Structure 1
Amino acid sequence: MTGGPIQSIVVALMPHLMIAPILLPLVTACVLLFLRDRQHRTKAAISLFAAVLNLAVALALLWWSKQGDGPSAFGVYLPGNWDVPFGIVLVLDRLSGLMLLLAAMVALMALFFALARWHKAGAHFHPLIQIQIMGLNGAFLTGDLFNLFVFFEVMLAASYGLLLHGSGPSRVKSGLHYISINLVASSLFLIGASMIYGVTGTLNMADIAARIPQVAAADRALLHAACAVLAVAFLAKAAMWPLNFWLVPAYSSASAPSAAVFALLTKVGVYVLLRLSTLFFSPEAGASAGFGSQWLAWGGMATLAFGALGMLASQRPARLAGYAVIVSSGTLMAVIGFARPELTASALYYLPSSTMAVAAFFLLAELMDRQRTDPARQRAPEDEEDHLPFALADLEIARTANLDEDEEVLIGRAIPASTALLGLAFICCTVLVAGLPPLSGFIGKFAMLSALLPLQNEAPAVSSASWALVVLIIVSGLFAMVALSRTGIRFFWAPMERGAHLLRVAEFVPIAVLIALCVLFTVRGEAVMRYTSATASSLYHPAGYIDAVFSARPLPTATNAERLGVPAPETRP
């Protein structure tokens, strides 16, 4: 059989595959709930298989979103078979395809890391991780604000359980703060969405974008207020300063696999801000064009500065990783605020690379903390008078160490060359987070700097905001390098009586895979940049998105054939 018929069959089935990223983790979570608590191996096998299948689906959808230009680059699926804009609509484009793949890869690696021990440290870990995947996938695919709220809540509900997974007072304390902040954000989401519905009469994103230019002048201030209220909910999730005070305590207290998945949650806020800003406030939005861009740009730069200073002031690896999340999110929000396609393309290259690097760093942070909190290797403070800062840091780590269900510090089995492996992984994470050559972190930052400071003779003068972002990107990289180098010296080079690091192969493999993917981004940088450039171009020309959504038609059935103006399908007697 030739490839033509097979390809046509695949293309025909592909639209129905859009529902799989939502149904697959949902069904898997339901199945896992029927298993007994002690069936750890069965749960792990089912959950891991579902995560691998979710990755395969994400790859297929990414391949589909790349095919062609214009409307052909969009996939629209109507789960309820209702006309747009009245029913639920799922929309796939290059941006959502990229985010689906990123979420699938990070979630799979976090789950694989948890199989070493963390999945046994509490109840319902595997159903929670599957529900988390479902919420993430739904948020990236949905095409209306109501279902965005639904998936937002699903994602947050799962994150509450994952944050409290395990034991320890610091996790419970930070978890209560995390829940409180996100409940407030959810309330603001509802208020903003209801106000937008009151002004535009719809919650479908494409329909809102089409109606915004037609909003009456008397109602435009109310529309902007509604969008501002809605934006606050996502700015809190995207960790914009000063709404990000909850993030570092929560993420650094969570278990390592949960924290790695949480690195994706801030990107949901960034994704929604990028999606809605380019869709609602494009140059075609009339008097609303560019609304909020300057606030987003300067707020992102303030967030970037706060995260850089936080990294410089931190010593624990987990807290360093938490501030690295803020640095990444602040950089992306500042770039979105500039609303320039070439700059956004560079940021979209930086987004997956920085997310995978931070996720790997969260996993690595636990392995590093474990070495310092092993009771057999702890030394009394009075014996370390020559290394008092190191001793105080060790005691601080010991008080906040992650514990399992037996209230014991997690200890793995020593393997040969474990110290060298961890040291090499730490160097790679340092290079990626700080944006040093030759890895993808440097390429992403260099691309953003090149877009901010064009070298062409006919290029316009560089604005003060562009210069401020250039300085912050460079200084934040310097601060990250100083902070991470200091931590690396303390953990790997400081003269302490210790043996080999305690490490399991299953714990190191996810870190190695995430770093290898960043290396692949470096090697295939040109191809990835072409993809992100096409993605940014489609984002800033939302007519293709709007046309693709409104061109979707429900399938004719016996109940809707007359409304659609088509013959009713024949039914068997």
Structure 2
Amino acid sequence: MDHLLVLMVALPLLVGGAMLLLSERRRALKAALGLTNVLVLLGIAVTLAWRLNAGETWPDSLAVYLVSNWSAPFGISLVADRLSALMLVMTSVLALASLTFAVARWDRAGVHFHPLFQFMLMGVNGAFLTGDVFNLFVFFEIMLAASYGLVLHGSGWPRVKSGMHYIVINLLASSVFLVGVAMIYGVTGTLNMADLAAKVPHIAGADRVLLEAGAGVLAIAFLAKSAMWPLNFWLTPAYSAASPPVAAIFAILSKVGVYAVLRLWLLMFNPGYEGAPDFGGQWLVYGGLATLAFGSIGLLASQEFNRLACFSLIVSSGTLIAAVGFGSIEVTAGALFYMVSSTFAVAAFFLLIELVERTRVFGANVLALTMEAFQAEGAIESAEVDEVGVAIPMAMAFLGLAFFTCALLMAGLPPLSGFLAKFAILSAVLEPAGAATPWVTQGMVWCMIALVIVSGLAAVISLSRAGVRAFWAPADRTLPRLRVIEVGPIALLLGLCVAMTVAAGPTMRYMESAATALFAPTDYSRGVLLTPRVPSPSALEE
């Protein structure tokens, strides 16, 4: 069972490499290989999550794979716990939905789409499984290198322009990442996460100052990828210009940064450590709240669907970063529930946008804005037609229902999982345990509550306005032709959000278990460092 960990990294590498040997004329074969591999990865990820949660295969709910049979911290180790398994399942589900949607036509917009997609999956999965900071950098770079090709997939000057900005910002973030890694290694002499968790609490004096400076530099790289304000100016142009399936899978990339912050902050500066609670937590709360405010303003100011989706993603990141900064098990558990729901909803919305745009004439949104602004004659038609009702074609019924579901999820309105997730966060924030850490003040608590509510209201206003223009206002709407492989991925993502609503109890218990393990870094450190090497065959015979 331990080999399941390395398969999550090795399979995308092998499949992506094999695809490079095939010509672009074998695109159907590449698509079949990619979809098969994604299904296998999804099965492995679900198996890991199930086994880790059950605690049967791994009694400590911690799976460790020692690469080349070198013991930690001297060798490379892959580590999976409940949080890692959750992120792997999210990645595989998004990959299945995005790749299926892309096969309809988007994979033909440029070359090497399928190999790049597999290499990006390799980087994302590796980032969630790696047990040391340097290999986190390596997998970050693999993920980003593949994403550079995907964001430019399909060419066109908007993609090239925003893609260049995206590449430059991420290259700068990678340079900052290396500086932070070097500073931490210079103080601790190790980059293994479990070893860092054991050594950091005992570092004091000038070394402590240098360690915190290195961690702060490292955090800049992670928070830039997490789309925290003011480091998120690159996200909206890049994601809105990307093709729909690429933008959908990119919804998980910002969560890689949130995962890195959550993992390393709680390992190195856990609120339970003596002398550590004052480092980093309040800045995460402030940064998250600022990101929430920025995302809410962006939602109200946006008219295009793509930008609405991008600012919804920024609101999601702001909520997660602020919740992590509270340093509470209960708030973190609610944040994990919210992360899954919001990521699936935004990804489904990215895919839905392209289908909705097929129903609108070219420049319809521009004309609507012009007529609203100047109240041009004929802007509002009041034709008196005595009709009992209007027949709604099946395609339009699906698009309308999907849009309505996405709006409920992204705004956090009842009864779906978006509401349950926000309710879990806010109820935990109001509890005494939610504000137990020294840096959390009552002002932070009430700002968090107000901004979460305001962000939901902003989403309701902006999405309602966009929905009216898309579905009610046009009189000369074109009925779209939808394929099953285009409709299926959207239905899958939204169906999973509905399933989370129905199974909110078991899902929340899993999130609470994952959050509890995060706040017990000693167990993580002991589990990794004490994992024995696999005995050699000769030793087994003796």
Structure 2 gap ranges (5+): 377-391
Q: Is contact 1:301–1:330 with CA below 8 Å preserved after alignment? A: yes
Shift in Å, 1:369: 2.6
1:485 equivalent to 2:485? Answer no
The 1-side partners of 2:145 and 2:370 are apart by 46
Q: Which residue of 2 aligns with 1:357?
A: 345
Q: Which residue of 1 aligns with 2:206?
A: 218
The 2-side partners of 1:429 and 1:16 are apart by 37
Q: Which residue of 2 aligns with 1:422?
A: 399
Structure 1 gap ranges (5+): 1-13, 392-414, 559-566
User: Percent of counterpart pairs with the same letter?
Assistant: 55
1:440 equivalent to 2:428? Answer no
The 2-side partners of 1:429 and 1:455 are apart by 33
Shift in Å, 1:215: 1.3
Deviations along 1:405-444, one digit per CA (max 9) or x if unpaired, are xxxxxxxxxx951111111100000000000000000000
Q: Which residue of 1 aligns with 2:510?
A: 531
Deviations along 1:165-220, one digit per CA (max 9) or x if unpaired, are 00211000000000000000000110000110000000000101111122131211
Q: Is contact 1:196–1:203 with CA below 8 Å preserved after alignment? A: yes
Shift in Å, 1:570: 5.7
Counterpart pick for 1:50 among 17, 32, 37: 37
Q: Which residue of 2 aligns with 1:471?
A: 450
1:281 equivalent to 2:275? Answer no
The 2-side partners of 1:40 and 1:208 are apart by 45
Deviations along 1:221-274, one digit per CA (max 9) or x if unpaired, are 100000000000000000000000000000000000000011000000000111
State the AA in 1 paired with 2:417: S
The SS at the match of 1:73 is: coil
Q: Is contact 1:209–1:285 with CA below 8 Å preserved after alignment? A: no
After TM superposition, which residue ranges in structure 1, 4 or more long, deviate above 6 angstroms? 378-385, 388-391, 458-462
State the AA in 1 paired with 2:288: G
Query: Does the C-alpha gap of structure 1 residues 526 and 390 become closer, same or farther in structure 2, counting only changes over 3 Å?
Result: farther
Query: Does the C-alpha gap of structure 1 residues 451 and 160 become closer, same or farther in structure 2, counting only changes over 3 Å?
Result: same
Q: CA RMSD in A?
A: 2.4
State the AA in 1 paired with 2:165: H
Counterpart pick for 2:480 among 501, 518, 524: 501
Shift in Å, 1:38: 1.1
Counterpart pick for 1:237 among 225, 235, 241: 225
Deviations along 1:94-120, one digit per CA (max 9) or x if unpaired, are 000100000000011000000110011
Q: Is contact 1:91–1:142 with CA below 8 Å preserved after alignment? A: yes
State the AA in 2 paired with 1:150: V
Shift in Å, 1:284: 4.6
Q: Which residue of 1 aligns with 2:322?
A: 334
The 2-side partners of 1:311 and 1:449 are apart by 21
The 2-side partners of 1:262 and 1:495 are apart by 31
Q: Which residue of 2 aligns with 1:246?
A: 234
Q: Number of residues paired by the alignment?
A: 523
The 2-side partners of 1:329 and 1:309 are apart by 15
Deviations along 1:435-490, one digit per CA (max 9) or x if unpaired, are 0000000000011111112399x999971101000000000000000000000000
Deviations along 1:490-546, one digit per CA (max 9) or x if unpaired, are 010003312313422211110111000000000000000001111111111111111
Query: Does the C-alpha gap of structure 1 residues 135 and 379 become closer, same or farther in structure 2, counting only changes over 3 Å?
Result: closer
Q: Which residue of 1 aligns with 2:384?
A: none
The 1-side partners of 2:375 and 2:78 are apart by 52
- Superposition map of 1:20-419 within 5 A: 20-68=7-55, 72-372=60-360, 386=371, 417-419=394-396
Q: Is contact 2:328–2:436 with CA below 8 Å preserved after alignment? A: no
The 1-side partners of 2:217 and 2:484 are apart by 47
The 2-side partners of 1:286 and 1:475 are apart by 36
The 2-side partners of 1:163 and 1:125 are apart by 10
Shift in Å, 1:290: 4.5
State the AA in 1 paired with 2:95: A
State the AA in 2 paired with 1:507: E
The 2-side partners of 1:373 and 1:51 are apart by 36
TM-score scaled by structure 2? Answer: 0.92
Q: Which residue of 2 aligns with 1:555?
A: 534
Query: Does the C-alpha gap of structure 1 residues 379 and 328 become closer, same or farther in structure 2, counting only changes over 3 Å?
Result: closer
Query: Does the C-alpha gap of structure 1 residues 429 and 218 become closer, same or farther in structure 2, counting only changes over 3 Å?
Result: same
Q: Which residue of 1 aligns with 2:490?
A: 511
State the AA in 1 paired with 2:28: R
State the AA in 2 paired with 1:545: Y
State the AA in 1 paired with 2:276: S
Query: Does the C-alpha gap of structure 1 residues 194 and 382 become closer, same or farther in structure 2, counting only changes over 3 Å?
Result: closer
The SS at the match of 2:64 is: strand
Q: Is contact 1:212–1:288 with CA below 8 Å preserved after alignment? A: no
Q: Is contact 2:359–2:478 with CA below 8 Å preserved after alignment? A: no
Query: Does the C-alpha gap of structure 1 residues 201 and 449 become closer, same or farther in structure 2, counting only changes over 3 Å?
Result: same
The 2-side partners of 1:223 and 1:360 are apart by 41
Query: Does the C-alpha gap of structure 1 residues 144 and 379 become closer, same or farther in structure 2, counting only changes over 3 Å?
Result: closer
1:431 equivalent to 2:431? Answer no
State the AA in 2 paired with 1:518: C
The 2-side partners of 1:286 and 1:39 are apart by 59
The 1-side partners of 2:91 and 2:118 are apart by 12
TM-score scaled by structure 1? Answer: 0.87
Q: Is contact 2:361–2:478 with CA below 8 Å preserved after alignment? A: no
Query: Does the C-alpha gap of structure 1 residues 390 and 200 become closer, same or farther in structure 2, counting only changes over 3 Å?
Result: farther
State the AA in 2 paired with 1:430: A
* Farther-moved stretch of structure 1 (228-237 vs 284-293): 284-293
The 2-side partners of 1:383 and 1:427 are apart by 21
Q: Which residue of 2 aligns with 1:563?
A: none
The SS at the match of 1:244 is: coil
The SS at the match of 1:90 is: strand
The SS at the match of 2:314 is: helix
